[in-house]
């Protein structure tokens, strides 16, 4: 008798229309297409309109996911939005989504683990579904990073972008099953932070003048940490599931830097032909990058029923996590 377990019923994605190329970036910081592409793998990214917010993008991705699941907004009984660029501190972004889609008075939760947000949200959604506390949990990764990017810092502003992805998590029978997940965090303020806007450093003229409401990062520190974590997580996920890295049909990593991904995958013994890369077109969309890439992999027919798909991410905190999915 097959057991029903939490699985991904459907995925949807949305990216804004406006394409910003590396040449466009070189109009306001001293950089070049060649430098950006060689160091990161990025050619272009998408920026949202001024009047287009994180929740709007999350809603668009959700509409697609719901349509594919043949569900109505009112069939959802819990919303989790992973984001580092929320519409407001409160109401949280999940409340904006709830209101925008007319979902009724269901629980609405934001998760703040930066680029690791989606893998955290998926683990939590799986737990809520597996304990029968909720039936259909909506997980969204959505970001308007262009609103918290320091456009005077050439080593960071070339990375970040906007977009959203959504997934419906429900109990399924051997379909999109989340086999195992693990999340972790280790405090490291200097590696990656947004310094101001919280109670430690409330907004003031000074914080605005110093660009402290935008992302600050120590790229080299994060780079080394990420290579090591991506490798360790791939190794651990396979061991826990009792499979070899050869059995992983596709890795969908957080799209932070193609060179990080290549180094880690080489160490894990996973060829790049089994890794989804779309950073060239979308840049780093933080918690949205995995569901956007997952959606693309499905559309391109790169995942078949029964395939093992490994999702892994790292981000500010520092935080990290993976989900191994049997599609
Ligand atoms: C951010 C990142 C691309 C920077 O690449 P890097 O190779 O570490 O580059 P560095 O910051 O050490 O800079 C190297 C040189 O390039 C220059 N440089 C930095 N950004 C540049 C740009 N956009 N264009 C041209 N030159 C640039 C620096 O000034 C430096 O010059 P110098 O050697 O004369 O001092 C890379 O570290 C990275 O991807 N890190 C991890 C990703 C990350 O942190 N993501 C956010 C969280 S998910």
Residue 110 sits in a domain whose CATH number is 3.40.47.10
Both 48 and 163 in a single domain? yes
Which of 28, 37, 39 for a ligand 1 pocket mutation test, highest count of atoms within 8 Å of Cβ? Answer: 39
Q: Cite the DSSP H helix spans in 242-318.
A: 258-268, 279-282, 289-299
Q: Between the CA atoms of 228, 184, 296 and 17, what dihedral angle is there, to the nearest 10 degrees?
A: -100
Please check whether residue 252 is in contact with residue 293, taking contact to mean a CB–CB distance below 8 angstroms. yes
Q: Quick one: what percent of the chain has pLDDT higher than 90?
A: 98
Question: What separation in Å is there between the alpha carbon of 33 and the centre of ligand 1?
Answer: 13
Residue 19 pLDDT more than 60?
A: yes
Is residue 201 included in any domain, yes or no?
A: no
pLDDT band, very low/low/confident/very high, at 8 (cuts 50, 70, 90): very high
* Same domain, residue pair 155 and 259: no
User: Are 170 and 228 in a shared domain?
Assistant: no
Q: Answer yes or no: is the C-beta of 39 below 6 A from any ligand 1 atom.
A: yes
Task: State whether 16 and 146 are in the same domain.
Answer: yes
Domain-embedded: residue 199: no
> Do 135 and 70 belong together in one domain?
yes
In a domain, residue 137? The reply is: yes
Is 169 within 8 Å of 294 (Cβ atoms)? no
Judged against a pLDDT cut of 80, whether residue 239 lies above it is answered with yes
Residue 237 and residue 133 share a domain: no
Q: What is the pLDDT of residue 313?
A: 98
Q: Is residue 213 part of a domain?
A: no
C-alpha angle 177/257/322, rounded to 5°?
25
Q: What residues pair up with 322 in beta bridges, in sequence order?
A: 182, 312
Last residue of a domain, one of 156, 174, 192: 174
Over residues 73-98, the pLDDT tens digits come to 999 999 999 999 999 999 999 999 99
Q: What is the pLDDT of residue 2?
A: 60
Residue 269: burial class (beta carbons within 10 Å; 0-12, 13-18, 19+):
middle
With a 6 A CB cut-off, is 201 part of the ligand 1 pocket? no
Is the C-beta atom of 155 inside 6 A of ligand 1? yes
- State pTM to two decimals: 0.97
The verdict on 157 and 223 lying in the same domain is no
Q: Is the pLDDT of residue 16 over 60?
A: yes
211 found inside a domain: no
* pLDDT at residue 174, as a whole number: 86
Q: Is residue 107 part of a domain?
A: yes
- Is the CB–ligand 1 distance for residue 192 below 6 Å? yes
Is 158 in the same domain as 282?
Answer: no
Any domain includes 212: no
Q: Provide the domain count of the chain.
A: 2
Does residue 40 have its Cβ closer than 6 Å to ligand 1? yes
Q: Which of 139, 174, 209 is the last residue of a domain?
A: 174
Residue 36 CA to ligand 1 centre (angstroms): 9
Active site residues: 115, 254, 284
Q: Going by C-beta distance under 8 Å and a sequence separation of 6 or more, which residues neighbour residue 28?
A: 151
- Write the pLDDT tens digit of every residue in 312-321: 999 999 999 9
The confidence score (pLDDT) of residue 3 equals 80
Last residue of a domain, one of 117, 149, 174: 174
The stretch 234-242 carries a mean pLDDT of: 97
Domain residue limits at 279: 179-184+218-326
CB 314 within 8 A of CB 116: yes
pLDDT at 277 over 90: yes
In angstroms, the Cα distances linking 218 to 1, 193, 225, 258, 260 are: 51, 9, 11, 17, 15
Burial (CB count <10 Å: 0-12, 13-18, 19+), residue 304: exposed
More confident of the two residues 21 and 3: 21
Average pLDDT over residues 129-154: 97
Percentage of the chain lying above the pLDDT 70 cut: 99
**Tokens matching residue 218:** 């120590």
Question: What's the chain's average pLDDT?
Answer: 97
Does 203 fall in a domain? no
With 0-12 CB in 10 A as exposed, 13-18 as middle and 19+ as buried, what is 4? Answer: middle
Q: Ligand 1: which residue has its CA nearest to atom 45?
A: 256
What is the dihedral sign for C-alpha 84, 86, 89, 92?
negative
Q: List 5's β-bridge partners, or say none.
A: 172
Same domain, 161 and 23: yes
Query: What's the pLDDT score for residue 1?
Result: 47
Q: Do 31 and 161 share a structural domain? A: yes
Mean pLDDT of 38-59: 98
pLDDT greater than 60 at residue 242:
yes
Average pLDDT over residues 40-64: 98
Closest residue by CA, ligand 1 atom 18: 155
**Same domain (yes/no): 65, 150:** yes
Q: Does residue 264 share a domain with residue 153?
A: no
């Amino acid at each position: 008798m097959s057991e029903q377990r939490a699985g991904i019923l459907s995925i949807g994605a949305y990216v804004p229309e406006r394409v910003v190329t590396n040449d466009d970036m070189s109009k306001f910081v001293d950089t070049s297409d060649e430098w950006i592409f060689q160091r990161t793998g990025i050619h272009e990214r998408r920026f949202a309109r001024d009047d287009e917010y994180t929740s709007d993008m999350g809603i668009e991705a959700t509409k697609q996911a719901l349509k594919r699941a043949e569900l109505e907004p009112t069939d959802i009984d819990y919303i989790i939005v992973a984001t580092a660029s929320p519409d407001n501190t409160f109401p949280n972004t999940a409340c904006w989504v709830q209101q925008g889609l007319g979902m009724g008075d269901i629980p609405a939760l934001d998760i703040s683990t930066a680029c690791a947000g989606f893998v955290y949200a998926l683990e939590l959604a799986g737990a809520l579904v597996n304990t029968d506390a909720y039936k259909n949990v909506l997980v969204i990764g959505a970001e308007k990073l262009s609103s918290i990017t320091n456009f005077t810092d050439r080593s960071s502003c070339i990375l970040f972008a906007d977009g959203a992805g959504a997934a419906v998590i429900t109990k399924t029978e051997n379909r999109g099953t989340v086999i195992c997940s693990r999340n972790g965090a280790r405090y490291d303020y200097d590696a990656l932070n947004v310094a101001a806007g919280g109670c430690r450093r409330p907004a003031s003229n000074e914080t605005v003048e110093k660009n402290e409401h935008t992302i600050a990062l120590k790229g080299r520190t994060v780079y080394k940490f990420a290579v090591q974590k991506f490798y360790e997580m791939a190794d651990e996920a396979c061991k826990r599931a009792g499979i070899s890295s050869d059995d992983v049909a596709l890795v969908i990593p957080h799209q932070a830097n193609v060179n990080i991904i290549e180094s880690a995958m080489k160490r894990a013994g996973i060829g790049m032909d089994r890794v989804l890369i779309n950073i060239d077109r979308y840049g780093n969309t933080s918690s949205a990058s995995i569901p956007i890439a997952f959606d693309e992999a499905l559309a391109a027919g790169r995942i078949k029923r029964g395939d093992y798909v490994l999702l892994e991410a790292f981000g500010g905190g520092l935080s990290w996590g993976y989900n191994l999915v049997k599609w």
